[in-house]
Structure 1
């Protein structure tokens, strides 16, 4: 039944049934945005050359669907792979338990709400109880109402209201609990995996494969051969086993399906283990992966890539540079005549017989965040191409002739007038012949009319004096004809889509913007899931791989199978270990802060890059902190800060001596002296890097002379600019070191440094 009601190519009811086989997800490659999944299926060779594979997610990208035969009879190949959605009816037992609990909670909430409403109605009715005296006749004297009756009525009302209010309070609390339970179950269902069935009727994706008939060549198999012993006995069991194996290989196929899914992404995360005194460390890559593809990745071979799954490959366009009078660049026409005989291309499709009319979708309100409509081609006079003809590019419908009147829109029917009667439908054969003749005439008219219009576009525009749409003198207010100018979206050739046989006859075989994402259409479930996954907040210190990878792409293969449910949340997966050279060093900048900071110097001596991301640092089996690891290219070196080290003390003192020098005391000498003391109170040796700074002269008559054993950084960086000076000191356990440095600034005697002569 599913084969006859498929949305793709429909099969005849009298044809053979296509066998359906399940497929198993084998491997997944997650890119910076999106993933490529590969499924495998071991199936028997179908007698009719067609089979169907099930188990695919609904959110797959049909453009990326690929199929091939990995193992099977020689000559067997896949000639067509067609994606077909099939509606499936689920029984209540097949729905997840969470969905059943949510339905029960909603029913319980509705029942409690109804009881609460009935109690409130009873309270209102009881409150409205009043003693109504009987209507007195004209000649009847006034009656006395006994007070006991009033008191009994009041007591009855009070007693009933007390019971009803108590019941209303209980129902209010019960209703609050029921609403809370419904909210909790709804949130759990939204966070649960989207792979299982949720609704009683759902649409699943299947792939209809068409195979080439195999070349059934007779293979006698390994015989005795000339060198074999002819007198050796042949076991009948062995011969039967060989024949069965050959028959199995000749009738079984190993098929692989490959497709892309957009709702998947990953970011790197790490765990660094280091022991004091060791020269190496273990950096474990633990990626955070999130996916909402509609299928659970259970026991799959996982690979992670920093490349883009779908990236434009447009070549840069260089424009000519001219010296002289400024001239606007001519806009590209972007138009080419349709090829001759385009209508005959679909003659066989039309001769196959009438096809059932497609179901028209129910108009829905535009969803928030829907993609904008595809731009239409403007026409002369301020109208759009879609308002005048059903074709986008003008390939099918010929444009109006120059000077001809524009076609008037049909007048609306007056209120209350009967609807016009539809024309009688012609016979199928006559309808096909008429459609073929009209399509051919339309295509010929389009080619001739559009070519003529494009040829006379420049003359008409110059004659108007104001470009397209300008009014000419004494024309009766009519606008001269101007050919349609192609929009920027129509010149985006990689994004254009070829119209198939289901398109109108005038648009068949032509290129146009894709129909998906136009105004009034809701986004597809795959696009909605992809947008929701892009908006998912990143973990702390996480960096997208495309940002940290730069101009290079890297791939990481997981060492073990992974399980990632389709719930749209982050899941941590251990990918593998990256050996690094790690050494512990300490850095202090006493001119800014008299504290010593511990750092781990990471050297990547492997051919694999380490992308930026959060790293959990463990030193001597004790968790230290979670820091941000920068990108570490192959052969690169980076520092990772581990916080303040209290076991190493630093102190800094400065002195300034000002004097004059020169033959006529025409120079002022500012002698700055720096004294730094370090004390190591750790139980191990430590290497400390002391960073100081010296001023940089910006004028020729200012000289700076250094006198210290420090040195400038080998490669300046934002952390260590060229004015930085470094000391590297090795302190033994309990050791002490004193560092003396300084510099002299010589300036003219009549000048002073802005901000004061003291630089420290």
Structure 2
């Protein structure tokens, strides 16, 4: 028996693949080679049996793992081996039980005392009336009243203590439920053990071999683990440079704590089958039968005949069971042999004829029709079960192609002679897990229903059509308590451009914006990003999935030290012959002030009307300083693109102010008006 420890874990969107390492000393192999079986303890009861794998990392040359199985058991634990929380809970429950018993006894005593009554004796016929013993009745009433007062006082005190004890027990139960499930809190702890069989190579020498040190690595899949990416963007407010740190929120309840493990975070789907597809050839001509699978062979004919003796013994056994042992038969001379089966042949009265072997309940289910060889040409035909039965004119069925279950050799079991059908044949075992493992897997599945952090997105949805794996830079610890744990992963290579954006026509507030460009070689998954400016937390913003080279704008909130004021003027006049054209002249004046101790770049956005009517013309005034027209969406701001946007990029030194001027004129026929009114600005 050897212990083991978790060395590395790869967490997927649902579930994880754990790797355990065990060091053991194998006894020396015999001269002709042989096998050795070792029990490796420490495995969680939530693992999937069919996912367990083993390999020899280091050891003697030629040593290999030939078989590995899972064995479930239970270990009775002493009181000093239980967690402290469990012991405290047992003490609290014992105290609660004692208080409840005391409360019940006091309540019963209160009921008995309250039932005390003065009952005078029944008078006899002819007796004169008696005086009522008033003093005795009053004394009894006073005793009952004083006694009930004492009992009620004790009962109230016990009920208060019971309420406190019940609250303490609930608190301990809640803390125990939230604690790690790596260590069982019950007296009987379930355990999973791997039975590993090693095959030794043949030894040329006859000398006894010495024990050999072997390093074994086990790999298995456990449910109850998930992760979500989160980021931290650290910005320098003066230069705008920043770094993006990838972190991961990991939650697991796999039945084992991950302490000091190499953690990998994958976007791949762990439960999806990944069988290599087989491309079949396209043939022109007569249809041909599909070639048989190389790893499959039809069962041989006559399997039921192998159980004829078993069936005969089973048929005779109920008759002879419980009868006295008969005396030995008398020695008589054997009669001469007689031809059997002839007409008028004498019946054998010395012993009963052996019972005919019963036919299997479902011969077709046990052995396919194609498994029986056809009769030779010209040979005798098979006898039918009934006299004059019609011959079977149906052709034999073609051999069925084996399914995936029949090709899973590790799950094939041999049906015994008592099987209702298919005895003597291999059949896939049920995929139902061990009851203990099934219960622990059900509890672990609750991790998938955890509420995710704000702005967090499922990695399978954010990854799209690509799969990638992120590895932590250092070993991490993740407790099996089913709660979120944040672990650092790595620093992501990105470039940042810091600028301030304002749309004074809508809101005079100035917003800080960071243009994040993914310069790494892999995509960044969608998730929340904590923005830190000069070491101070600003806000948490959602970050979408970024492909390599893609840019995205991330808002960092309102900059109170950068102020913008906008003044708009509109003058309406007429032009053209007889005043047939209305001219709406708009002038915009914007003041921008920087009160920060470092220079900034402010982008001020305005909008010029856009018209599809040929009778309406838009004439822009010369802006000072000149503004630029956005002909296409800005990288990272595709959702904010609006036609007719004009923008200024104004660099401002600390404490400086700039004035921006611009405008436009709308020329439209006198019979038309701007939607919403000509003076809406």
Counterpart residue number, 1:195? 182
Report if the CA contact (8 A) 2:632-2:641 is conserved.
Answer: no
How far did 1:514 drift? 6.8
Please, which of 691, 695, 706 is the counterpart of residue 609 of structure 2?
695
Counterpart residue number, 1:39? 20
Deviations 1:162-182 (A, max 9, x none): 100000110110010010011
Counterpart residue number, 2:653? 732
Report if the CA contact (8 A) 2:304-2:360 is conserved.
Answer: no
User: Would the alpha carbon gap of residues 747 and 62 (structure 1) be closer, same or farther in structure 2, given more than 3 Å must change?
Assistant: farther
How far did 1:297 drift? 0.5
Please, which of 28, 41, 47 is the counterpart of residue 9 of structure 2?
28
Counterpart residue number, 2:662? 741
Q: Select the structure that is richer in strand.
A: 2
Matching of residue 750 in structure 1 with residue 661 in structure 2 = no
Q: Which moved more, 1:88-97 or 1:659-668?
A: 659-668
For 1:67 and 1:346, locate their aligned partners in 2 and report how far apart those are by CA, in whole Å.
Answer: 36
Matching of residue 719 in structure 1 with residue 640 in structure 2 = yes
Report if the CA contact (8 A) 1:713-1:726 is conserved.
Answer: no
User: Would the alpha carbon gap of residues 434 and 678 (structure 1) be closer, same or farther in structure 2, given more than 3 Å must change?
Assistant: farther
User: Would the alpha carbon gap of residues 302 and 752 (structure 1) be closer, same or farther in structure 2, given more than 3 Å must change?
Assistant: same
Q: Show the 5 A alignment for 1:501-540.
A: 501=413, 506=421, 516=432, 524-540=438-454
Aligned length: 573
User: Would the alpha carbon gap of residues 543 and 713 (structure 1) be closer, same or farther in structure 2, given more than 3 Å must change?
Assistant: farther
Report if the CA contact (8 A) 2:610-2:643 is conserved.
Answer: no
Deviations 1:620-667 (A, max 9, x none): 233333333443433232232222112111111223334455567654
Q: CA RMSD in A?
A: 3.8
Q: Which moved more, 1:503-512 or 1:167-176?
A: 503-512
Query: Where does structure 1 lack aligned partners over 5 or more consecutive residues?
Result: 1-19, 219-246, 317-335, 355-422, 428-432, 449-490
For 1:711 and 1:425, locate their aligned partners in 2 and report how far apart those are by CA, in whole Å.
Answer: 104
Counterpart residue number, 2:397? none
Counterpart residue number, 1:143? 130
For 2:302 and 2:562, locate their aligned partners in 1 and report how far apart those are by CA, in whole Å.
Answer: 84
For 1:424 and 1:703, locate their aligned partners in 2 and report how far apart those are by CA, in whole Å.
Answer: 109
Deviations 1:243-293 (A, max 9, x none): xxxx88x82222111111110011122333333323532333232111000
User: Would the alpha carbon gap of residues 495 and 730 (structure 1) be closer, same or farther in structure 2, given more than 3 Å must change?
Assistant: farther
Counterpart residue number, 1:290? 251
TM-score (norm 1): 0.68
Q: Show the 5 A alignment for 1:556-595.
A: 556-595=470-509
Counterpart residue number, 2:115? 128
Matching of residue 206 in structure 1 with residue 193 in structure 2 = yes
Q: Which moved more, 1:31-40 or 1:537-546?
A: 537-546
Counterpart residue number, 1:611? 525
Counterpart residue number, 1:79? 66
TM-score (norm 2): 0.75
SS in 1 for 2:675: coil
Q: Which moved more, 1:250-259 or 1:621-630?
A: 621-630
For 2:430 and 2:610, locate their aligned partners in 1 and report how far apart those are by CA, in whole Å.
Answer: 61
SS in 2 for 1:169: helix
User: Would the alpha carbon gap of residues 119 and 309 (structure 1) be closer, same or farther in structure 2, given more than 3 Å must change?
Assistant: same
For 1:345 and 1:617, locate their aligned partners in 2 and report how far apart those are by CA, in whole Å.
Answer: 76
SS in 2 for 1:49: strand
SS in 2 for 1:136: coil
Report if the CA contact (8 A) 2:47-2:437 is conserved.
Answer: no
How far did 1:516 drift? 4.5
How far did 1:618 drift? 2.8
How far did 1:619 drift? 2.4
SS in 1 for 2:129: coil
Report if the CA contact (8 A) 1:497-1:511 is conserved.
Answer: no
Please, which of 235, 249, 256 is the counterpart of residue 274 of structure 1?
235
For 1:88 and 1:724, locate their aligned partners in 2 and report how far apart those are by CA, in whole Å.
Answer: 73
SS in 1 for 2:79: coil
For 1:436 and 1:275, locate their aligned partners in 2 and report how far apart those are by CA, in whole Å.
Answer: 86
For 1:41 and 1:200, locate their aligned partners in 2 and report how far apart those are by CA, in whole Å.
Answer: 27
For 1:673 and 1:60, locate their aligned partners in 2 and report how far apart those are by CA, in whole Å.
Answer: 72
Report if the CA contact (8 A) 2:502-2:510 is conserved.
Answer: yes
